[in-house]
Structures are given as C-alpha cells and as structure tokens.
Amino acid sequence: MKISFAEPALPAKGAVVVLVEENKKLSPAAKELDKQTKGAVKRAIAASKFVGKKGQLLEIVAPAESNLDRILLAGTGKDFDELEQQNLGGNVYGKLKNSGSSEATVIVDAGAKDLTVAAANVALGARLASYRFDKYLTKQNNSNEDGKPTLKAMKIGVAGAGAAKKAYGPMDKIADGVFFTRDLVSEPGNVIYPESLAEQCKELAKLGVKVEILDEKKMAKLGMNALLGVGQGSERESRIVVMSWNGAAKSKKPVAFVGKGVTFDTGGISLKPGPGMEEMKWDMGGSGTVIGLMKALAGRKAKANVVGLVGLVENMPDGKAQRPGDIVKSMSGRTIEILNTDAEGRLVLADVLWYCQDKYKPEFIVDLATLTGAIIIGLGHEYAGMFANDDKLAEQLFAAGTATEEKVWRMPLHDNYDKKIKSDAADMKNIGGRDAGSITAAQFLQRFVNKTPWAHLDIAGMAWSKEAKPTVPKGATGFGVRLLDRFVADNYEK
C-alpha cells in the first residue's frame, strides 16, 4: 500500500476518515464534513453508540450527491498517545482494506499536541497492519474478507505534511525490518533452512551491514559441538551468521543480539507429537527477529555499533541424530549431558553466546528464542519472558517493551534453580525437569555469558499469533524488532 502525506483537505473521492475525540468532540475536519453533508455526521453519531472512544469506528453512507465512497469516523479516546495513534491507523486500514475503496484520506487534526508525529504514527500503524503473506496463494477471492485488499493508497492529511513525512521516514525503515522478520518466520521449512536463511542475511549487505557466515567446518574448528550436535541428524548443514552494523565511533563497544534459529524442530529423537508440528517452522523466530532488527537499524542509519548473531540448525530424527544420553563438549569447554533432544535451542545458543562474548566483548548481550512452552503456560501470549543478570538492562528492556506494546515480564534467576541442571555424568544436563522449565533453561544459558550483562527473552508465546491485533495480522508477528529498535534508540544512540 502506498502511503503519502499532504496538507489537510477533505477529498473529492475515495474514502475519508475524520477524527472524533471522546465525548463526541468533532475534529475540525469532522465539523467541516458534517457541514458539507448537511448534518449527516452528527445524526449518525446520535443514532449510534459511537462516542469517540479509542478503537471505535463508525461508518457512514456517503450522501448521494457526493463522489465519496464512504465516510469513516475514528475515535481517538481521551489519551491519543503514540500507541493509540498507531492502533488507529491499523484499525482504519483493517476496516477499509476490503471495503471496495481503492484510496483513503485520513485527516489528522485533533487529539494530540504534535499532530505531525501523530500523523506519522497513524501511517506506521496502517503500514504494519497491511502486511500479508500470500505468495503461495494462487487464487484469491476479492469479495471475501480474507481476499486480496482493494485499498491501494492512503493519504495522511496533516498541517505540516513535510514534517510528518520526515518523522515517518525512520518508522518506515523499522516497518521494513518487521516485514522482513514476518516474511522469514512465515516461510515453510522446505524454503527456509539453515543455508537458505543464511543467504537471506546477505541481503543486508546492501544497507551496509557486514555479513559473515560460519559453516560446519569453521564451527567444528571452534569446538561448537553443542550446536553441531543438534543439526547432525539433518541433511541440511548448520550455519552461524554474524551481522555487523557500525554506526558509531570505532572506539565504542558493540551491543549484541543473539537469535535461536531452529528452522524446523521435530524434536529429534525425542520426537514431538504430530498434531501442531507444522507450526515448528517458526522455531527460528528469535533469529528472524535479530535479522529484521539489523535491517531496521541499518535502514534508519542507527548511530550505534551493533552485532547480531544467529545460530541456524534443523533438528531432525535420523540414524545420525543426537541421542538422549549423549554427552557433548561445548565451545566453552564445558560438557553437557543430553537428556532430551527437544531441548535443543539452548544447545544452539550456548555456543553462539560463548562465541559472541568471547570474540566481540560487547557492552551487553540480549538473546531471543522460542525456547520453552512453559513460558506460555506462565505468561500466555501477552508478555515475553525476560531473564537478566543485570537490573539496568532489564529495566531498559521493560521500558522499551511498554513503549512499543511488545511487552516483557521479568522472571527470576537463582542458584537453587541452577542446581536442577546439575548432572552426575557431565558438567550440566540440558533439562531440569518439568517444574520451572523456562527458568532452568535460562539458568543453562546464563552459564555461557560469563560476566557480560545479559538478558534472555523467551518469545515462544509471542512470535506467532492466531488472533489479529490492530497492527499485527494473524501469523508471524515480528515481535521484538520494534522493542529492540526502541531499546537501542533510547539508550545507546544518545
């Protein structure tokens, strides 16, 4: 969908969207529209339950003498903040996408102190909502609500359109990163596997990102047997991709993000149940977020030095596959007893985290992984689980999550949990039992970061959604890209 900005003016055709603040307070454009339609706006409000609350929409039939397709009233609520501005854009797009209108004009002239920023946020919300993954659909019924959208263009009318367009520029690049993540996570396992996902990362070189790929020979030489063990049952070779963006002084230490990239997870020899296994194509969601984040940061020319690392494997059952009871030596030199081959993500991250802290000596590391089903039991699909060895880092991530509506909730770490992964046969085991499963997984990861400030985000409940939200369609959410972009912008670009 094409998005543009212009000075505010009611259009002569297409759909028009005007704002109404809570308690039926019409914006200037809504008042003018009411005048032009001989009171149709006020009559429609009076005959409905619409009062201008956030999220409320009211469609009005355009007068016969008008060339407009339709009129849409959008409530701003009492506090038309950044997130509500984006949600309004998403809700408006959702209402109009299959309405039959090919173009729409949204007049942003009320509810916020800075209308140019509000207009940019409305545009961002509309763009985020417009995402579709339909490349494999050969037939689409345009009359169906799930059919190909008819809305092709949205114009945002606001006083100071040039300033609004400028404010939207970086947001548009962030949306590019979100869409890249959603695309990667949506692809099936026969299309996205370790080698092909590594190739996708090379696209970032066009934005100035340095991309380095470690193959299995390089990983074996480095002693990454924990990661290699996970992928040894697959015909697809494992990979690690390192993406570097240098937007600050060379003397400034990089910040690091690490993603779990299990491109398909059968569970290995500890085979998962058949029902629902098709969803395991998105077990690379953590890596998808890191890749999309690097695209967003490079796209908007972030003034920070950032390194993103993703460990890419496919976990398959085979005669060569890792067995329960096997013991492997990780890159750190520590040995791990494999009790369950479906607890594989932590093995991948163990070697990548160690490599990251040892080679790049970053200011901090944040890792993301669809790591445990247990986190969904604890937090549902509202919050990602956050574990951290550093209070400041945890507070910054929490604030960024609140600001972007990609929320994280801090979970505990404690020595008593760490004891649960003690092994009699090796330095540690890869599971600690059913109780506190997300916590013991985080305790396992913590062993591979040494003294580096670190946070682990368990995004198992957030990477994929079966319900649409105003700016997040069903399917791959792109969770974490906006969160981490805001985290970097607020704390490491000053």
Domain 2-160 fold is Leucine Aminopeptidase, subunit E; domain 1 (3.40.220)
272 catalytic residue (yes or no): yes
Task: Confirm whether pTM is higher than 0.95.
Answer: yes
Point out the catalytic residue in the list 13, 24, 42, 272. 272
Point out the catalytic residue in the list 346, 429, 482, 486. 346
The whole-angstrom separation of Cα 282 and Cα 459 is 11
Q: Residue ranges of the domains in the chain?
A: 2-160, 174-492
Which stretch of DSSP H or E encloses residue 87? helix 82-96
The vertex-415 CA angle with 412 and 418, nearest 5°, equals 90
pLDDT tens by residue, the chain, 494 residues: 999 999 999 999 999 999 999 999 999 999 999 999 999 999 999 999 999 999 999 999 888 788 899 999 999 999 999 999 999 999 999 999 999 999 999 999 999 999 999 999 999 999 999 999 999 988 755 444 567 899 999 999 999 999 999 999 999 999 999 999 999 999 999 999 999 999 999 999 999 999 999 999 999 999 999 999 999 999 999 999 999 999 999 999 999 999 999 999 999 999 999 999 999 999 999 999 999 999 999 999 999 999 999 999 999 999 999 999 999 999 999 999 999 999 999 999 999 999 999 999 999 999 999 999 999 999 999 999 999 999 999 999 999 999 999 999 999 999 999 999 999 999 999 999 999 999 999 999 999 999 999 999 999 999 999 999 999 999 999 999 999 999 999 999 97
Residue 314 falls in which region: left (phi positive, over 0), alpha (psi -120 to 50) or beta? beta
The amino acid at residue 482 is R
The whole-angstrom separation of Cα 307 and Cα 243 is 6
Nearest to 479 by CA among 188, 124, 262, 181: 181
Per CATH, the number for 174-492 is: 3.40.630.10
13 catalytic residue (yes or no): no
Q: Could you give the 3-state DSSP secondary structure of residue 61? A: strand
